Amino acid sequence: MGFDFEVIGSSLPYLFKEGMTFTVTLTLLAMTGGIIFGTLLAMMRLSAFKPLSILAGGYVNLMRSVPLVLVIFWFFFLVPYIGAWLTGANQPVKVGAWFSAVVTFTMFEAAYYCEIMRAGIQSIPRGQVWAGYALGLNYWQAMGQIVLPQAFRNMLPVLLTQTIILFQDTSLVYVISATDFLGAASKIANRDYRLVEMYTFVAVVYFIISYSLSLLVKRLQDRIAIIR
Amino acid sequence: MGYNWNWKVLLETEPGGTGSYLQYLIVGLGWTLVTALAAWVIALAVGALVGTLRTTPHPWVVRAGNLYVEIFRNVPLIVQMFLWFFVVPELLPQATGDWIKQMAPPWGMYIPAVLCLGIFTSVRIAEQVRAGINSLPRGQRMAGTALGLTLGQTYRYVILPQAFRIILPPLTSESMNIIKNSSVALTIGLLELTGRARAMQEFSFRVFEAFATATVIYLLTNLIVVLAMRALEQKVRVPGLIAAGNAPQAGH
């Protein structure tokens, strides 16, 4: 059983320039979109207006009950129809794996970010909102200037931990043949028949990145804990 | 939107000739459950052991436990799946490796999938067990020592019975996660529920009927798991102890 680790060296530019760029960009876009959409969902879930909270709750529970792989398939086939509906075209719009992946991960992660932000918002004493209203602020001002900044800060470590999980989960775009870091490695592995070397390398790279990020989150957590 | 629903497709015969598409999907659910259940046994056993060891007063045992957790927590599940399926058989002695590779389908995919999912989930359970044990007042452990119990006895009779009751709610969500995560096994060719929904979509071109049916089956399965775990919680509840709340957690 001869192992040949040279294949890794020669494919590094492809693996990182194509693959890792895809993975990191997807993670950052889905994180940003997911936190924004997730926060809105959390506000809806906590709203006193019942239909709104039921709608948001239903969405979150649905997303959290279905495997991510199935959600990826759903959106991969659904996004073309949504596109046709939005643009008024009578044929499904052609979208690539990249766009579909961004939509999927934003929509899916929003459900998880929502639950984190909901716990964050609920951790703020009610009196603060009332104090805001007493000062003449409206709902959006009280939320945007009093509650959300604190909630976000309290939940920052959990939000970042969720982002590390998101970073790992983006590797599942393999199922729609996207060229993320794993997809790129898999293409080389199958071309040169070097599966052992490539997949071991992929595991090591994911480990180093995720572990370093989790150490950073831990340090941040300690610092926040002291300040409070 | 121009999509024509055709639910009757569920009653048509699938190309393999084993029955209707609906039966085909339900057999897929069977594989999902059999995979998740076997993996759950590994995950609980290993997770409880590692989680407990990490709370013992032996520094090197704690360090070994931490290393185990960090390794399997920081590599994506699909990559671990590929390691168990493609890499492990190559690293074993030739005869054992060949034997594994020549196993008849679906066992050749089932066994790596179960091992992978079991170990992956054991790490998450180990974290829960550790958190559960650490949430107990320190006096419990000291009281055990004061009564003359050994370390092992203190764990067996004082700490673990309380810790496991505390972590039942997070274990519920882990048992739902393991069912959902078993879908990743389709990447190594195990035809579980999601894999079969995709196959049905490829054979019949009925995209949304296939995925919608699979989604409904997953929702019903989740509902059953939640109800079963709630019943278990009621059954093992110790009167007078407050039920543990769910702290916000990152997850997938």
The per-residue pLDDT for B105 is 80
Count of positions (residues) in chain A: 228
Beta bridge mates, B13: B20
pLDDT digits (tens, 9 = 90+) for B68-120: 999 999 999 999 999 999 999 988 888 888 888 888 888 889 999 999 999 99
Q: Is the ipTM beyond the 0.95 threshold?
A: no
| Predicted model pTM | 0.90
Angle at B99 between CA B97 and CA B105, to 5 degrees: 110
Task: Name the residue of chain B whose CA is nearest to A109's CA.
Answer: B252
B190 domain-assigned = yes
Q: Mapping DSSP to helix (H, G, I), strand (E, B) and coil, where does residue B13 land?
A: strand
For testing the chain A interface, which of B5, B32, B35, B75 should be mutated: the one with the most A CBs within 10 Å? B75
Can you tell me the mean pLDDT for B160-179? 91
Cβ–Cβ contact A197 with B under 8 A: no
Determine if the peptide bond prior to A149 is cis (ω within 30°).
Answer: no
B186 domain-assigned = yes
| Residues of chain A with C-beta less than 8 angstroms from the C-beta of B197 | 70, 73
The per-residue pLDDT for B247 is 54
The per-residue pLDDT for B11 is 86
Q: Do A73 and B90 touch (CB under 8 A)?
A: no
Cβ–Cβ contact B188 with A under 8 A: no
- Number of structural domains chain B divides into: 1
Q: How many CB atoms lie within 10 A of CB A63?
A: 18
CATH code of the domain containing B67:
1.10.3720.10
The per-residue pLDDT for A227 is 57
What is the Cα Rg of chain B in Å?
22
CB A85 within 8 A of CB B1: yes
Give chain A's domains with CATH numbers. Answer: 6-227 (1.10.3720.10)
Q: Do B251 and A206 touch (CB under 8 A)?
A: no
Can you tell me the mean pLDDT for B196-215? 92
Among the residue ranges A128-132, B2-6, B136-140, the one predicted with the least confidence is B2-6
Task: Name the residue of chain B whose CA is nearest to A88's CA.
Answer: B1
Instruction: Provide, rounded to the nearest whole percent, the portion of chain A with pLDDT above 90.
Output: 76
The per-residue pLDDT for A141 is 94
Can you tell me the mean pLDDT for A58-79? 94
Show the DSSP H helices in B83-166 as ranges: 88-91, 94-101, 107-134, 138-146, 151-154, 160-166
Q: Do A171 and B78 touch (CB under 8 A)?
A: yes
The per-residue pLDDT for B104 is 81
The per-residue pLDDT for A226 is 58
DSSP B20: B
- Has residue B3 got a pLDDT over 80? no
Q: CA–CA distance from A152 to each of A8, A57, A117, A192 (Å)?
A: 41, 20, 7, 47
Q: Do B183 and A67 touch (CB under 8 A)?
A: yes
Among the residue ranges A87-91, A161-165, B22-26, B55-59, the one predicted with the least confidence is A87-91
Q: CA–CA distance from A180 to each of A202, B142, B193 (Å)?
A: 11, 52, 25
Cβ–Cβ contact B220 with A under 8 A: no
* Close Cβ partners of B119 (under 8 Å, ≥ 6 residues apart): B42, B43, B46, B72, B80
- Has residue A79 got a pLDDT over 60? yes
- Has residue B243 got a pLDDT over 60? no
B229 domain-assigned = no
Domain of residue B69, residue span: 30-194
- Has residue A196 got a pLDDT over 70? yes
- Has residue B240 got a pLDDT over 70? no
The per-residue pLDDT for A157 is 92
| Closest of B191, B196, B195, B178 to residue B252, by C-alpha | B178
pLDDT digits (tens, 9 = 90+) for A97-123: 999 999 999 999 999 999 999 999 999
Q: CA–CA distance from B147 to each of A191, A209, B138, B150, B152 (Å)?
A: 66, 47, 15, 9, 13
